[in-house]
């Protein structure tokens, strides 16, 4: 499960008129801890910002899921409410989650939200949706980044490495390879034993012939 942190960064930004102005932008970053979030935001902002910048604040975000789209200008924050059953109390319980989705307008955001959450089996209701203050989102691994790493490490096996292969299957494959390697050794051992038995039989026949001649 991803853990998102909101980072407020202050820096100089050039606006459309070519003028510099100070801005405070919020960024959503995936990290395992506050220390990791701080390290990652400094790394990301060092790549994006020319000049000095200050990380003003880092806090754990209430965002549970991020729905990105290849085309979109804004991040919208939606609150969804689900009704679950509390087995201990035997009553219905409302659970709310926050999701941000990328879109060009609010109508597109609602459509993208519905498509992105189509996998959910529990019915939900969108109780609110609004334009968020998030300027950009930095997940831990981009899909293309993961694919590039796989292709670089194992170019020929990349299509197969992206699948979830059970460990038991790998173990069986390794045992089969060992058996295939051991079979020729057994054949060689059988051949050598057979050759030795033939030589012994020939020696016995020669000794029998010598005894007959002596007689």
pLDDT digits (tens, 9 = 90+) for 150-188: 333 333 333 333 333 334 333 334 444 444 444 444 444
Higher pLDDT, 70 or 184: 70
CB 29 within 8 A of CB 8: no
Q: What average pLDDT does this structure show over 78-98?
A: 86
Residue 149: pLDDT band by 50, 70, 90 thresholds?
very low
Q: What are phi and psi of 205, to 5 degrees?
A: -65, -40
pLDDT digits (tens, 9 = 90+) for 100-139: 999 999 999 999 999 999 998 888 999 999 999 999 999 9
CATH topology of domain 1-61+133-147: Ubiquitin-like (UB roll) (3.10.20)
Which residues fall within 8 angstroms of residue 35, CB to CB, at 6 or more apart?
Answer: none
pLDDT surpasses 50 at 196 = no
> Mean pLDDT across the chain, nearest whole number?
74
Q: Following DSSP, what letter does each residue of 21-80 receive, concatenated?
A: EEEEEEEEEE-SSHHHHHHHHHHHHHHH-SS-EEEEEEEE--EEEEE--SS-SEEEEEEE
Among 114, 91, 92, 87, which residue's Cα sits nearest to residue 103?
A: 114
Residue 20's region, left for phi above 0, alpha for psi from -120 to 50, else beta, is beta
Angle, vertex CA 11, rays to CA 8 and CA 16, nearest 5:
115
Among 116, 110, 104, which residue's Cα sits nearest to residue 65?
A: 116
pLDDT score for 187: 42
Give the start-end residues of each E strand in 104-214: 124-131, 134-138
């Amino acid at each position: 499960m991803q853990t998102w942190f909101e980072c407020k960064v202050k820096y100089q930004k050039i606006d459309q008129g070519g003028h510099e102005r100070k801005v405070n932008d919020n960024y959503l970053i995936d990290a395992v801890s506050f220390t990791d979030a701080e390290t990652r935001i400094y790394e990301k902002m060092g790549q994006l910002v020319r000049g000095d910048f200050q990380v003003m604040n880092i806090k754990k975000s209430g965002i549970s899921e991020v729905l990105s789209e290849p085309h979109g200008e804004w991040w919208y924050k939606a609150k969804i409410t689900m009704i679950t059953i509390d087995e201990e109390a035997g009553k219905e319980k409302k659970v709310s989650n926050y999701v941000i989705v990328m879109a060009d307008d609010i109508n597109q955001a609602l459509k993208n939200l519905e498509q992105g959450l189509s996998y959910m089996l529990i019915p939900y209701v969108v109780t609110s949706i609004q334009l968020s203050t998030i300027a950009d989102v930095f997940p831990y691994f981009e899909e293309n980044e993961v694919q590039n790493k796989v292709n670089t490490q194992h170019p020929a096996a990349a299509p197969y490495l992206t699948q979830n292969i059970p460990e038991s299957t790998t173990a069986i494959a390794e045992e089969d390879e060992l058996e295939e390697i051991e079979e020729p050794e057994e054949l060689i051992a059988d051949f050598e034993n057979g050759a030795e038995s033939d030589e012994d039989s020939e020696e016995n026949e020669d000794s029998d012939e010598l005894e007959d001649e002596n007689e």
